[in-house]
Amino acid sequence: MGVIKRQGAKHSSVRVASVMLGAFSSLFIYPLDLSTYGTLVFLLSFASFLHYPLTLGFGQTMVKFFHEFELGVKKSSFFFTQSLIQICILVITCSLFYFLQDSILNVLDKLQFNVQIFKENELLVIFLVILVSFRTLWQGYAQTIKRIVVPEFLYNMLYKIGLPLLICLSAFRILGIYEVKWLFVLLIAIINLSLLIYFISLGRISLRLDFRKYTSKRVNRMGDFALFGMFTALGGQLAFKIDNIMIAPLIGVEENGIYSIMVFMASTLLIPMVSVDLISNPIISKAMAINNRQEVDKIYKKGSNIFGAIGILLFFLIWIHLPVYFNLSAETKAIEVGRSVFLLLGFSKLFDCFTSVNSAIIKFSKYFRFNLFTTLTLGGLNIWLNYELIPIFGIKGVAMATAISLALFNLVKLFFVWKVLGYQPFRKDTIGLVVLFLFCMVLNHFFSKLVDDFFLRLIINYLLLFFMLLLPIYLFNLAPDLKEMMNQVLNKTGLRKKN
């Protein structure tokens, strides 16, 4: 757990810095050209969706099988060999996709999608698919060697700096949308190249091919895991990330830009969870393999507690500042609709935090196929809900569909892990965290109706955050790991004497 804490904390620091950059961009830059921003988000989301079937789920085998290939080896040939295999897969599948695109577009046209946006960007999407595929594969390698901080820094910082620059180039008419889209592809390519250079600099990669351990039995296991992982990931995309793909062709790219800003805000609640999840995956995989139930249970419960505690603090902090954001934003009227979008998505992300690493536990158990069933089922449900709710509620309907799907997904996984695998993430202090949060939200709603002055409401909300959330969590030790981190900060600043 010590490695998870150290790498997770460093990774979270990088994510927080990137969130600050993203928040600034969401406030002042992206609203300058919501159409271009919505287009670029659509392209990357569509490529992220396609890379799973076009790689046949191969990128997910890195974490699962790394220890079988490279246990005790100083230099890894697995990295280079896997990368070469993925190139071969992509050459075949992308060629097939290119020849089948007309048939695919005819189906989308019958489903009332605006197929023009797909036709205009077909080559761009293929390039992005290739780049996203290798980032997924190499991110798995970073997890296995427990070096997630620098890769995350390179990706987040370069992306969060490069994307706003591209939006400015478009907003101030320095470049057209065509040039900006290709520069966006170049940006992702530069990020990938930076990751590759970093991994090579570690001195752990052997630039030689080694197929000796690719026995027929192991290849069959890898293929089985990859294909089920592919369908599971596709289901996950359909269940939770189809929104950015559906909004652009069904409603418009500007609305996709607005929605994406709110998704970014809601996703900040998952920063600690994503950070710890990256480094804990290989640890959970190993613990499940040797049936170390105590280690799995500890990670599951501690994760739920600290993810939930930080999640409710971040939610309330963002919620009370949304009015400030709307007042300062370049396009206030255009994005005020996002308040209800954030509320819906935020609550679903919070539930995701409290249910902790249930996906990883299922994924690395012998029941990993269960993820396939749940994600595909809920993916279908999400698409149906989008078609039903978008005509009535617009982007609010998209948020409703995603929130419902994510909540149901986590409920099903929670019940399965509890009944079948014998793990559950909740402790007694979970009830205290939830009660405190709901009480603060009720008080926030009450004072928002009672107090008209904007700045006075903000001061009251700050007091609620400190006295009704942060202080009780600390004093009653509702989140021990969070309290430990807070004590470390207090010790370093001299506000608390070391014991």
CA 133 – CA 139 distance, rounded (Å): 10
**Which ranges constitute the DSSP H helices of 329-418?**
332-335, 338-354, 358-363, 369-393, 395-416
How many Å from the N-terminal Cα to the C-terminal Cα in the chain?
23
Residue segments in the chain with a per-residue pLDDT below the cut of 50 = 1, 3, 7-8
This model's pTM is above 0.85: no
* Residue from 398, 349, 124 nearest 245 by CA: 398
The stretches of 417-453 forming alpha helices (DSSP H) are 428-450
Tell me the β-bridge partners of 105: none
Confidence (pLDDT) at 414? 94
Q: What pLDDT, on a 0 to 100 scale, did the predictor assign at position 40? A: 95
Residues in the chain: 499
pLDDT at residue number 15: 64
- Give the position of tokens 């007694």: 428
> How far from the centroid of its chain's Cα atoms is residue 148's Cα?
15
> In which element (H, E) is residue 98 found?
helix 78-110
Closest CA to 301 of 244, 352, 246, 358: 358
Beta bridge partners of 205: 76
Helix (H), strand (E) at residue 318: helix 293-328
Continuous H helices in 172-211: 177-201
Tell me 76's DSSP state.
Answer: B
pLDDT value of position 331: 60
State residue 336's pLDDT score: 66
Residues in Cβ contact with 34 at an 8 Å cutoff, skipping those fewer than 6 apart: 253, 254, 257, 258, 331, 334
Task: Provide the pLDDT for residue 73.
Answer: 57
Other C-beta atoms lying within 10 Å of the C-beta of residue 414? 20
